[in-house]
Amino acid sequence: MIRQAKGKTPRRPPPKKPSNNQKDPVGVYCRVRPLGAEDVECCIEVISNTTIQLHAPDGLKANRNGEFKETQYSFKKVFGIKTTQGELFEDVAKPLVEDIIHCKNGLLFTYGVTGSGKTYTMTGSPGQGGLLPRSLDMIFNSIGPYQAKRYVFKPDDKNGMEVQNQVDALLDRQKRDSQTTVPKTPTTRRIDPEFADMISPEEACKADGVDEDSSYSVFVSYIEIYNNYIYDLLEETPIDPIKPKWNGAGTPLRNNTEFIPPQSKILREDQNHNMYVAGCTEVEVKSTEEAFEVFWRGQKKRRIANTQLNRESSRSHSVFIIKLAQAPLDADGDNVLQDKNQVNVSQLCLVDLAGSERTSRTRAEGSRLREAGNINQSLMTLRTCIEVLRENQMCGTNKMVPYRDSKVTHLFKNYFDGEGKVRMVVCVNPKADDYEETLLVMRFAEMTQEVEVARPVDRPICGFAAGRRQRNQAFKEELTRRLEERGGPVDESPTVLNQLLQSFPPLPPCVISGPNDDVTLPRLIEALEKRHKIRHMMIEEYNKTAKMLKSVLQEQDSNLLSKENFIQEQRGKLGEKEKMIQNQKNEIDRLEKKSKMLEYKIDILQKTTNIYEEDKRSLQQELESREQRLQREMSEKRRVETRMQGIVTDAKLKWEKECERRVNAKQLEMQNKLWVKDEKLKQLKAIVTEGKTENRQPQRPSRENDKVPAKRSASPSPVPTGPPVRPLHRRSHSAGGERWVDHKPTTNVDLDTVLQPNIPNAIKVNAPNEKALSKCDKYVLTHQEVASDGEIQTKLIKGEVFKTRGGGQAVQFTDIETLKQENPVASSRKRRSSGTGPDGETMEGDWTDVETRCSVALEMRAGSNLGPGYQHHGYPKRRKP
Ligand code: ADP
Ligand code: MG
């Protein structure tokens, strides 16, 4: 019995992307593979089920300041070398498969250095299937009984999914069966031994909560991104004998085999802003085996292309996309509802990324080097995108994430931008050679963990009552049973129908008695018409009820929907509030910490202030004491200044006086000399004129007339010729009251004459001294000199002793008396009194002539032997000419 698909159910607005506030960090897992047989040094240690520790290998340790470097990295979970593929799947991929079945997208990629076990983790090896075959298996285990017939779901070319009607689907199926080239369902075929062991049925997993009232279909695509070109690995490339065989880079192939180089594909954005590979083959698969076979086909193609084009497989990214289309069954629970808006497509991307190492592991020369650069570029872009995302999320910035810089990131843009679960398995090889690369991998992984992706929300359920499939199933089962009971095919109805028929008024006997029987037929017709009427009425009633029920159901449905929406909203709000509370808490924590910090700072500042104040006090004290000292020194200075001024005026006065006195003495001496010369001249004149004028008396020179003639006394200067004496001076008539200092230089010649001055009561000295001067009040110097006529001339130079203001003695010369006598030592001693002794020594200082000696004023201070005056006149350079 073929039932027509029911008329369209009232349309609901297309499910808007519900605004979702909840986010989850990218789940990063770490898998450590066992050390290879050839490797000895291990630089990774699993220290807990979330943390690993890296040790710098021995060689590196020496290079880096010789220090032992250990770093720890934490992940959502760490899988050690003993982890089985099943255990890994359980933790990492199972939740993603559950998600895809519940209409949520997922992205799972492996990241790591070449040889770290990415492919092993993703694909696995015979007997140890990886995440990919296990995911496929779980999907089919979960949706197996609810799969739609082939070609019911049909991908449009815009990343969407359509629902074909039964007839078109049937025709497509027939077409497929007739094509011999297309592999048939694996159930009818022998499984390729190469991958037969990949899926072990005993480990079968199943998702919970699969919506039985939906119909499902799985589509797979397999692409490779190499050198930033996208290649479809499932594309059926017809053999073109005319077209020359070139590879993508424009270089001819090495050999002209059947190999057709793949054409690169481009990325497009669908109406929901999801990225997809335009024109990419999507193969509908109905079982794990079939799906894996398709994968293996692509894998083979990849291998061939790599060999043919001399590419390094570790440098390409492979992306296996599992698309799950699901649509609700119609109200009967029999067929897929033919409404594109009701079709949900979710996808799980399984990505085996290229090796993350910075340089090619094998020789990188020529064109390979360029390729290597590009491939690295993709991973670099991935890293940059993650970095920017993280920064945007953590700092609230809105930097542009450069998804478009590489195909890989561009393809996955929606996982990071939109919603979905993203998981990464970081594969590490613990060998020492990989240490530095592994460090980089770890850093990237740590960063990736900080990126958050919007949590996918639950899709609204469709408006039909649940359990449709089951009822339909039960109905069909019952029907079959009944048919079997009858022992043959009946086009009649099940029990319910019979019962219904029995409730109608019984049919009149319908045996026609004869050709004239015109009662039976009309009666039958009447009865049938009655029945028809009843049936009609019942149908109407039924439709009415159905309509009513439908509207009630719809109402309920919309009520439910709005309630759900409300709940969702409230949940979102709650989440927001919780976040706010958390933020506040964090803020409080931060502020508390800050206040503690500030208190501590205040404490320190207080202490510092105290110290400074102490310093200030002591400095002030010092300043005061210094000021006092300064004051004292100033007053002392002033005192000294005044004293010095007094001394200076004293000295000035004294010297003025002294100068005056000397000038006087000199004047006097000069006058005396003049007078002596005059006298001599007169005497000479008298002698000359003696003969002419007898008894003529010598006359004084006119200028001496005003002076009182000197009263000659016997002592101390008996002058026979009566030399002039200054009238101002008292002559010493007797020695009785006066004490004399009799200064006779040792150089004097003993003349032994009457003219020898003899002063009683005198203190005789060779050189004047203060002691003698202090005792006396008169002074006489006996000075000898050879005159021009050869006679010795003795001069008595007299003076008075004064007490000076400074407490010394001064002599003021007042008189000179000259005595003449023949030189007893003749000419040899003529210059004796000039001061030079017989042995040539300077005697008596430089008292060379009488003028000089007369000018001497001796001043002797108390306590000193030689006064300034003495000293002054004793120097030869000061000798007067
Ligand atoms: P990748 O894809 O990262 O370059 P592979 O997955 O090809 O590395 O792994 C390199 C080799 O190491 C393979 O022979 C693989 O079988 C082995 N291997 C990797 N991880 C494991 C593991 N966890 N247990 C056992 N063997 C592993
Ligand atoms: Mg690999």
As a three-state string, the secondary structure of 109-131 is: EEEECCCCCHHHHHCEECCEECH
**770-to-383, 453, 661, 806 alpha-carbon distances in Å:** 114, 121, 20, 13
Q: Which of 256-260, 591-595, 816-820 ranks highest by mean pLDDT?
A: 591-595
In this model, does residue 367 exceed pLDDT 60? no
Q: How far is the CA of 163 from the centre of ligand 1 (A)?
A: 42
pLDDT of the residue at 694: 55
User: What's the mean pLDDT in 527-545?
Assistant: 85
- Protein residue with its CA nearest to atom 16 in ligand 1: 120
In this model, does residue 554 exceed pLDDT 70? yes
In this model, does residue 340 exceed pLDDT 50? yes
Q: Phi and psi at residue 371, in whole multiples of 5°?
A: -60, -45
The angle formed by the CA atoms of residues 457, 458 and 462, to the nearest 5 degrees, is 140
- Protein residue with its CA nearest to atom 10 in ligand 1: 115
pLDDT of the residue at 537: 86
What atom in ligand 1 is closest to the CA of residue 120? 6
Task: Kindly give the pairing relationship between strand 778-786 and strand 740-743.
Answer: parallel
C-alpha 344: how far from chain center: 50
Q: How far is the CA of 122 from the centre of ligand 2 (A)?
A: 9
The residue type found at 376 is N
State the CB neighbour count (10 A cutoff) for residue 494: 14
Min mean pLDDT across 492-496, 527-531, 566-570 is at: 492-496
For tokens 């001076």, name the residue. Answer: 729
In this model, does residue 529 exceed pLDDT 50? yes
Q: Quote the CA–CA distance of 569 and 580 in Å, as a whole number.
A: 16
Instruction: Return mean pLDDT, the chain.
Output: 78
Min mean pLDDT across 177-186, 233-242, 283-292 is at: 177-186
What atom in ligand 1 is closest to the CA of residue 116? 3
Strands, DSSP E only, in 446-489? 452-454
pLDDT band at 196 (very low <50, low <70, confident <90, very high): low
Which neighbouring-strand residues pair with 763? 741
What atom in ligand 1 is closest to the CA of residue 36? 12
pLDDT of the residue at 332: 77
**Residues 340 and 160: beta-carbon distance below 8 Å:** yes
User: What's the mean pLDDT in 197-223?
Assistant: 85
In this model, does residue 255 exceed pLDDT 60? no
pLDDT in tens, 665-712: 999 999 999 999 998 898 888 888 876 655 545 444 444 444 444 444
Q: Quote the CA–CA distance of 80 and 618 in Å, as a whole number.
A: 70
Task: Kindly give the pairing relationship between strand 124-125 and strand 128-129.
Answer: antiparallel
pLDDT in tens, 267-307: 999 988 889 999 999 999 999 989 999 999 999 999 988 88
Q: Quote the CA–CA distance of 265 and 233 in Å, as a whole number.
A: 11
pLDDT of the residue at 728: 41
- Protein residue with its CA nearest to atom 23 in ligand 1: 33
Q: Quote the CA–CA distance of 666 and 64 in Å, as a whole number.
A: 104
Which neighbouring-strand residues pair with 74? 51
The residue type found at 356 is S
Q: Quote the CA–CA distance of 305 and 298 in Å, as a whole number.
A: 10
- pLDDT top residue among 843 and 319: 319
Ligand 1 mutation pick, 30, 31, 32, 33, max ligand atoms within 8 A of CB: 33
**Which run of H or of E encompasses 275?**
strand 275-277
pLDDT of the residue at 719: 41
- Protein residue with its CA nearest to atom 9 in ligand 1: 117
In this model, does residue 13 exceed pLDDT 90? no
What atom in ligand 1 is closest to the CA of residue 110? 3
Q: How far is the CA of 427 from the centre of ligand 1 (A)?
A: 9
User: What's the mean pLDDT in 7-13?
Assistant: 42
pLDDT of the residue at 820: 67
Q: Diameter of the chain by CA atoms?
A: 250
pLDDT of the residue at 864: 41
Residues surrounding ion ligand 2 at CB below 5 Å: 118-119
Ligand number nearest CA of 33 is: 1
pLDDT of the residue at 2: 38
In this model, does residue 365 exceed pLDDT 80? no
Q: Quote the CA–CA distance of 775 and 763 in Å, as a whole number.
A: 9
User: What's the mean pLDDT in 242-251?
Assistant: 44
- Protein residue with its CA nearest to atom 17 in ligand 1: 117
In this model, does residue 742 exceed pLDDT 60? yes
Structure tokens at 859: 């001043």
**Which run of H or of E encompasses 834?**
none
Q: Quote the CA–CA distance of 74 and 80 in Å, as a whole number.
A: 13
What atom in ligand 1 is closest to the CA of residue 314? 4
- Protein residue with its CA nearest to atom 22 in ligand 1: 33
Q: How far is the CA of 114 from the centre of ligand 1 (A)?
A: 9
- Protein residue with its CA nearest to atom 5 in ligand 1: 117
Q: How far is the CA of 313 from the centre of ligand 1 (A)?
A: 14
Q: Quote the CA–CA distance of 41 and 764 in Å, as a whole number.
A: 122
**Residues 813 and 665: beta-carbon distance below 8 Å:** yes
Q: Quote the CA–CA distance of 404 and 667 in Å, as a whole number.
A: 126
Q: Quote the CA–CA distance of 93 and 245 in Å, as a whole number.
A: 40
- pLDDT top residue among 618 and 63: 618
Q: How far is the CA of 115 from the centre of ligand 1 (A)?
A: 6
pLDDT band at 500 (very low <50, low <70, confident <90, very high): low
Q: How far is the CA of 803 from the centre of ligand 1 (A)?
A: 129
Would you call the peptide bond into 430 cis, given omega within 30 degrees of 0 as the criterion?
A: no
Task: Kindly give the pairing relationship between strand 51-55 and strand 70-74.
Answer: antiparallel
pLDDT of the residue at 735: 44
C-alpha 419: how far from chain center: 35
State the CB neighbour count (10 A cutoff) for residue 181: 5
pLDDT of the residue at 726: 43
Min mean pLDDT across 50-54, 95-99, 377-381 is at: 377-381
**Residues 323 and 221: beta-carbon distance below 8 Å:** yes
Q: Quote the CA–CA distance of 673 and 671 in Å, as a whole number.
A: 5
User: What's the mean pLDDT in 620-638?
Assistant: 96
User: What's the mean pLDDT in 196-225?
Assistant: 85
In this model, does residue 195 exceed pLDDT 70? no
What atom in ligand 1 is closest to the CA of residue 83? 23
**Packing angle, helices 94-101 and 131-143, rounded to 10:** 40
Lateral strand order in the sheet of 763-765: 763-765, 740-743, 778-786, 791-803, 809-822, 859-860
pLDDT of the residue at 810: 78
User: What's the mean pLDDT in 723-737?
Assistant: 45
For residue 117, which of 430, 491, 366 has the smallest C-alpha distance?
A: 430
pLDDT band at 67 (very low <50, low <70, confident <90, very high): low
Residue 115 Rama label (left phi>0; alpha psi -120 to 50; beta): left
Ligand 1 mutation pick, 31, 35, 120, 375, max ligand atoms within 8 A of CB: 120
What atom in ligand 1 is closest to the CA of residue 114? 4
587, exposed or middle or buried, with CB in 10 Å at 0-12, 13-18, 19+? exposed
Q: Is the pTM of this model over 0.75?
A: no
Structure tokens at 722: 């009566």
Q: How far is the CA of 76 from the centre of ligand 2 (A)?
A: 23
Task: Kindly give the pairing relationship between strand 317-328 and strand 214-226.
Answer: antiparallel
Ligand number nearest CA of 125 is: 1
Q: How far is the CA of 121 from the centre of ligand 2 (A)?
A: 9
Q: Phi and psi at residue 267, in whole multiples of 5°?
A: -100, 140
What atom in ligand 1 is closest to the CA of residue 33? 23
Structure tokens at 541: 């009633």
pLDDT band at 467 (very low <50, low <70, confident <90, very high): confident
pLDDT of the residue at 426: 97
Min mean pLDDT across 493-497, 512-516, 575-579 is at: 493-497
pLDDT of the residue at 10: 41
Task: Kindly give the pairing relationship between strand 344-352 and strand 317-328.
Answer: antiparallel
Q: How far is the CA of 120 from the centre of ligand 1 (A)?
A: 5
Q: How far is the CA of 805 from the centre of ligand 2 (A)?
A: 124
pLDDT of the residue at 146: 92
Structure tokens at 820: 């003449």
Min mean pLDDT across 104-108, 660-664, 723-727 is at: 723-727
**Residues 408 and 381: beta-carbon distance below 8 Å:** yes
The residue type found at 779 is Y
pLDDT band at 814 (very low <50, low <70, confident <90, very high): confident
Q: Phi and psi at residue 27, in whole multiples of 5°?
A: -80, 115
Min mean pLDDT across 138-142, 181-185, 194-198, 795-799 is at: 181-185
What atom in ligand 1 is closest to the CA of residue 125? 16
Q: Quote the CA–CA distance of 102 and 461 in Å, as a whole number.
A: 11
Q: Quote the CA–CA distance of 237 and 219 in Å, as a whole number.
A: 19
Q: Quote the CA–CA distance of 638 and 644 in Å, as a whole number.
A: 10
**Residues 770 and 869: beta-carbon distance below 8 Å:** no
- pLDDT top residue among 739 and 648: 648
pLDDT of the residue at 259: 67
For tokens 């050189």, name the residue. Answer: 767
**Residues 553 and 465: beta-carbon distance below 8 Å:** yes
* Residues whose CB is less than 8 angstroms from the CB of residue 403 and which lie 6 or more positions away in sequence, other chains included: 381, 385, 409, 410, 412, 413, 416, 417
Three-state DSSP at 251 gives coil
Ligand number nearest CA of 306 is: 2
**Residues 408 and 382: beta-carbon distance below 8 Å:** yes
- Protein residue with its CA nearest to atom 20 in ligand 1: 117
Structure tokens at 65: 């300041």
Ligand number nearest CA of 121 is: 1
Residues with CB under 6 A from ligand 1: 33-34, 112, 114-120, 125, 314, 355, 427
In this model, does residue 149 exceed pLDDT 80? yes
pLDDT of the residue at 3: 41
Structural Rg of the chain based on CA atoms: 71
pLDDT band at 863 (very low <50, low <70, confident <90, very high): very low
**Which run of H or of E encompasses 871?**
helix 868-874
Min mean pLDDT across 79-88, 226-235, 465-474, 831-840 is at: 831-840
